[in-house]
Amino acid sequence: MNELTFDRIDQTVLDTLRPATRRYWIGVAALAFGILIGAACWIYQIFVGIGVGGQNIPVAWGTYLINFVFWVGIAHSGTLISAILHLFRAGWRNPIARAAETMTVFAVCVAGLFPFIHLGRVWMVYYMLPIPTQRTLWPNFTSPLIFDVVAISTYLTVSSLFWYTGMLPDLAIVRDRAVGVRKKIFTWLSLGWTGAHEQWRHYTRIYLFFAALATPLVISVHSVVSWDFALAVVPGWHTTIFAPYFVAGAIHSGLAMVLTLMIPLRKIFKYEAIITLHILESVAKTIIFTGLIVGFAYATEFFIAWYSRNPVEIFVFAWRATGDYAIPFWIMVTCNTIIPLAFFIKKVRTTIAWLFGISIAVNIGMWYERFIIIITSVGRDFLPNTWGLYRPSLVEFGIMLGSFSLFFFLFVLFVKHMPSVSMTEMKETLVEGGDHGH
Amino acid sequence: MAIDTYIMGLFRSEDQAVAAVHDLKNSQWTLHRTHSPIPSRKLSEALDLKTSKVGWYTLCGGIFGFFAGFALAIFTAERWDLIVSGKPIRALVPFVIVGFEFTVLFAIFGNLIGFLTQTRLPRMQNLDHYDERCSGAHFGVLASCASGQQDGLTDLFRKNGGDVRVFDDQTATNER
């Protein structure tokens, strides 16, 4: 880190904004094609009906809700890194905070699409808004689904504003080195930021408040998502552990996605001097911690089912581990709790290939965690005559492909056209440990 | 009437800029502002900056949001005042979630409004007497002097190890 200077940080980041190569645009086009596939599947579903998905009675929430929870989870670690670690003065957050915040904003956007998709009749979406209409009906604010609308829209708004405000000094750096149309665009985007002492005086304050307010918000949002399940009287869902369990899982998956995104970014943009191995190692250590929490939550669920002596609870959890969805269940357990333990070995957490591979495993495991939670509980409810199984349809796979493509499409466009590392915060790290002058 | 000349000292290090600020405060020349690529505690202390009042905007936004969230939930519940399973129409416990989310949301709006009003952003025109190096690696200290006293001010900046930029109205010249 010592060899870095202000000039070198600027140069390294600004170099990434040079005109893109043909390979880049081919990649963007491939992702756009994936989005088109997803959009085509959604349009097909709108015309034909929600029945083209694999959802059924009793498993009415399929991959749409799985992906919703997955993407909301991914969105969490951006705020963890930018807000919570900022409050803790963890300097290692600085090189990856911008990309993590970007990941957050785009992941929330993608997550927000799934309730629309799952509505079927998407034109009825205004039913969720508290506006006077001919229906003379208003949203029911005692429903966890409306909690979700409030929480997710608040989270999207706050994380977007946090992200943009944090970028202002960097946008000014780009503006000051750009020419022509680009200079005009960045002049608008930077809002006339000059780094005057009066601006910094207020900026450091609002950044602190952003972090302080975003921290409880991030915890509340995934708690609210968990209550979509926990407030229903369904075996396997109706449990008080769900809120912390979901929050820990969200951070676990988000940190894994940070590694998945940062490692190629570091290589492609030659960020090795900025996103050092030490930083990736710090993320890996945090993944050990969150993985242990998630593992503890899995064990607690089984223990409480056994300890409650409730035969339905015991049956549902036994079925999870040994029934029709045993393979996804064990993928979940292995990928989320066992494989990350490899990070205890220093060689593993300091080897790029291992870091990348394990991050992919955790991403897969966390997707399966949502699959297990959402499918298995309603698949084996109280009454055997309502039991059922679920298998995603091709339309759902298409929409899922579209959602992943959309996320990576937005991310790839961003990192090539905007500063993907916070130059200002990196410079702060060199001077006083990266604490925004506090 | 003498016309003021604006001169900016551009320093590679924070400490040099701080030293220049201290010297300026003890001089006959007028210190206008500083520009820096990072927030600087040392510069803030040298300039005797008070704590920003933007927090009051945040607080007001939060208080408004808290009551707005509860008010919205209660209002909508009362539009359909059918008691179901003996549950209260004004169910305050679940409304805490709406109240909380609105508190955060409006506190952030207040935060942002406070920031924009206090800093007078956005400002799209080029700022007078600004050097683009200040967003990169330099700490800029802007001061003015009466015409004919340029040498003294320039020397002050140079003595502290800085480059000097002289602004002649809208035209600027660089001196090294």
Name every residue whose Cβ is closer than 8 Å to that of residue A220 and which is 6 or more positions away in sequence: A151, B97, B100, B101, B104
The complex scores an ipTM of: 0.94
**pLDDT category of residue B175 using cuts at 50, 70 and 90:** very low
- Overall average pLDDT of the B42-64 stretch: 95
The confidence score (pLDDT) of residue B87 equals 86
Rounded to 10 degrees, the C-alpha dihedral A56/A62/A63/A68 comes to 140
Contact A142 B77 (CB under 8 A): yes
Q: For every one of its 438 residues, what pLDDT tens digit does chain A have, with 9 covering 90 and above?
A: 458 999 999 999 999 999 999 999 999 999 999 999 999 999 999 999 999 999 999 999 999 999 999 999 999 888 878 888 889 888 888 999 999 999 999 999 999 999 999 999 999 998 888 988 888 889 999 999 999 999 999 999 999 999 999 999 999 999 999 999 999 999 999 999 999 999 999 999 999 999 999 999 999 999 999 999 999 999 999 999 999 999 999 999 999 999 999 999 999 999 999 999 999 999 999 999 999 999 999 999 999 999 999 999 999 999 999 999 999 999 999 999 999 999 999 999 999 999 999 999 999 999 999 999 999 999 998 999 989 999 999 999 999 999 999 999 999 999 999 999 999 999 998 886 555 544
Instruction: Give A238's DSSP letter.
Output: -
Q: Which of A137, A154, A428 sits opposite B104 (nearest CB)?
A: A154
**Least Cα separation, residue B3 to chain A (angstroms):** 24
CB contact under 8 A, A202 and B54: yes
Is the per-residue pLDDT at B113 higher than 90?
Answer: yes
pLDDT given at position A79 = 83
Reported pTM: 0.94
Q: For residue A150, how far is the Cα from the chain centroid?
A: 18
Distance CA A363, CA A257 (A): 7
Is pLDDT at B125 greater than 80 in this prediction?
no
- Identify how many contiguous H helices and E strands chain B contains and give both numbers: 5, 5
In whole angstroms, give the CA distance from residue A196 to residue A201.
Answer: 9
Which of B54, B134, B136 lies nearest to residue A194, judging by beta carbons? B134
A200 touches chain B (CB under 8 A): yes
Q: Cβ contacts (< 8 Å) between A6 and chain B: which residues?
A: 37, 136-137
Residue A99 tokens, joined: 């990309």
Q: Do A210 and B119 touch (CB under 8 A)?
A: no
User: Nearest residue on chain B to A201, judged by CA atoms?
Assistant: B52
Task: Say if residue B170's pLDDT is above 50.
Answer: no
Position B163 pLDDT exceeds 60: yes
Which alpha helices (H) appear in B5-149, and where do they start and end? 14-25, 41-46, 54-78, 92-119
* SS3 annotation, chain A: CCCCCHHHHHHHHHHCCCCCCHHHHHHHHHHHHHHHHHHHHHHHHHHHCHHHCCCCCCCCCCHHHHHHHHHHHHHHHHHHHHHHHHHCCCHHHHHHHHHHHHHHHHHHHHHHHHHHHHHCCHHHHHHHCCCCCCCCCCCCCCCHHHHHHHHHHHHHHHHHHHHHHHHHHHHHHHHHHCCHHHHHHHHHHCCCCCCEHHHHHHHHHHHHHHHHHHHHHHHHHHHHHHHHHHCCCCCCCCCCCHHHHHHHHHHHHHHHHHHHHHHHHHHHCCCCCCCCHHHHHHHHHHHHHHHHHHHHHHHHHHHHHHHHCCHHHHHHHHHHHHCCCHHHHHHHHHHHHHHHHHHHCHHHHCCHHHHHHHHHHHHHHHHHHHHHHHHHHHHCCCCHHHCCCCCCCHHHHHHHHHHHHHHHHHHHHHHHHCCCCCHHHHHHHHHHCCCCCC
* CB-based contact B119 A173, cutoff 8 Å: no
The pLDDT score that the predictor gives to residue B147 is: 82
A70–chain B nearest CA distance, Å? 21
Provide the 3-class DSSP secondary structure of residue B81: coil
Task: Tell me what percent of the residues of chain B surpass a pLDDT of 70.
Answer: 94
Q: Calculate ∠ Cα A237-A242-A247, nearest 5°.
A: 140
